[in-house]
Amino acid sequence: MQGIYPPELAMTATPESRDPIARRCICCNSQNLARSPAVLMPFVAYRAFGHEPLDILPEWGFRDLRPGMAYTLCNSLQCRECGVLFLDYRFTDAQMASLYSGYRDERYTRERDRFEPGYAATTARDFEHRAPYIADIERWLSPHLPQHPAVLDWGGGSGINTPFLGTSPTVHIHDISAVPCVAGAVPADPETFGKQHYDLVTCCQVLEHVPYPFDFLQSMLPALDTETLLYIEVPYESLVRKSPDSRELATSKRHWHEHINFFSPDALRCLLQRAGLNCVDHHVLSLGAKEIMGFLARRH
């Protein structure tokens, strides 16, 4: 995640949409959900809930619990209407702040490495430099934009992977993590949303992390005028990618980490439309063994 969860969502969502255990689809709001038991990975459970794995020992003498390692349980849900696959836990603002505060900083990396040995030496280093594929994203976006677009990156972290960084004179970052911005980017001022024109608002590798994607998109609307384009980018997770029309994926998703939403193209399109956005264009980009999908949209 490049990382944002804006606290103002707590003031804009209805109690039903903010249910901490999902009872409706996060994209189309359907109640037609398939369900299957799963495990919440220990690092996420620790950061969000303060849970540590527990070794249940035989000498404790439990009658109804078997000895062995106990982890935080959850459910995999899949909407039978639009196909989105998601974790039933919908984290609160405080839990999201705990989970993503100081995202990938020294403390975060140290804590994650305790649960996932090798993270600091391998995965964490991948985020220290600008991702090569951003140039492909810029080439895909360029025909839709002026030569030097004014950009707001919603959830852009430090801005290291913000499209058009270094070529646009206006690159603003709106992010919860409070990490310093890289050269060429500055923090956004939410007070100016609706007053400052942006040619492009990007939200890349974020929606897969947020508990209430519909509310999240709604919170972005004040920053979009009728000419602004919104670029949404999410991983095209392999489980969904291999069977995009299947509605039987819940039983195959047995664990959840920081990606708590697995979108299909239909589900993401449905979510955008429900939030008052029209799809202008979309693409799927292959990154070796992984793929991402991006949707370009504009307000109705």
Alpha helices in the chain (DSSP H): 42-49, 93-100, 106-115, 134-141, 213-220, 238-242, 265-274
pLDDT digits (tens, 9 = 90+) for 181-198: 999 999 999 999 999 999
Summarize the confidence of residues 206-219 as an average pLDDT: 96
Residue 239 has pLDDT above 70, yes or no: yes
d(CA 9, CA 20): 14
Give the SS3 label for residue 78. Answer: strand
Q: Can you spell out the DSSP letters for 10-21? A: GGTS-TTTT-SB
144 pLDDT above the threshold of 90 = yes
On the 0-12 / 13-18 / 19+ scale of CB atoms within 10 A, 272 is buried
Domains in the chain (CATH in brackets) are 7-299 (3.40.50.150)
| Per-residue pLDDT reduced to its tens digit, 104-125 | 888 999 999 999 999 988 876 6
Q: DSSP label at 180?
A: P
Lowest mean pLDDT among 95-99, 139-143, 144-148, 160-164: 95-99
What residue spans of 221-264 are helical by DSSP H? 238-242
Q: What pLDDT is recorded for position 6?
A: 38
CB atoms within 10 A of CB 288: 6
pLDDT at 295: 98
- For the stretch 6-46, pLDDT in tens is 333 333 344 445 889 999 999 999 999 999 999 999 999 99
pLDDT at position 175 over 50: yes
